[in-house]
Structures are given as structure tokens and as C-alpha cells.
Structure 1
């Protein structure tokens, strides 16, 4: 009988993305998560593809 591994989500960390965040912060962009969430909720593509509540 084959061994089944538990389904654990793996979140890869992209070092390039980390550098982009650091560059954005160094450039003076200080968006809060609430501001980003508000902006994202107003985007049409996100509204179409966001998960059901």
C-alpha cells in the first residue's frame, strides 16, 4: 500500500519579490494592509475572480 503524505501547502518565497518590497519601502511607499485590501476590492478583475464568501 503506497504511503500518502499529508497535503501541506507549500509557500515558495521569491527572493526577487522580497527585494521589490524592500525597494518599495525604501522609496517611501508605506501602504497599510487595509489600504491595499481596499484598493484590491475595487479592482474589477479581483471582483470577478475573488473566492466566494
Structure 2
């Protein structure tokens, strides 16, 4: 493959793949069923327990 062909593939398909990945990440973070996971993750810095073995 030439450089131009790789550049064309990255410009078109790469942008599409990254856009889909971004939309999936936003959807996963903002879905209503993710609320409990987000609340648990927000309390991690306040956890006073030591490292878990």
C-alpha cells in the first residue's frame, strides 16, 4: 500500500471508527443504568481501606 492509500483510509475510515467509539463511550457513561457504577467510582478516593490483597 502506498502512503496516499493509507492516508485516504485513515482520513475516511479512521474518522468514522473514532466517531463511533466516542459516541459509544458517551452513551455508556450517560445511560441511566450506569448511575450506580459512577457513584461507586466517585467514592474511590474517599475509601480509607488499605490496598486489597
TM value normalised by structure 1: 0.31
Identify the structure with the greater helix proportion: 2
TM value normalised by structure 2: 0.31
- Larger Rg over CA atoms: 2
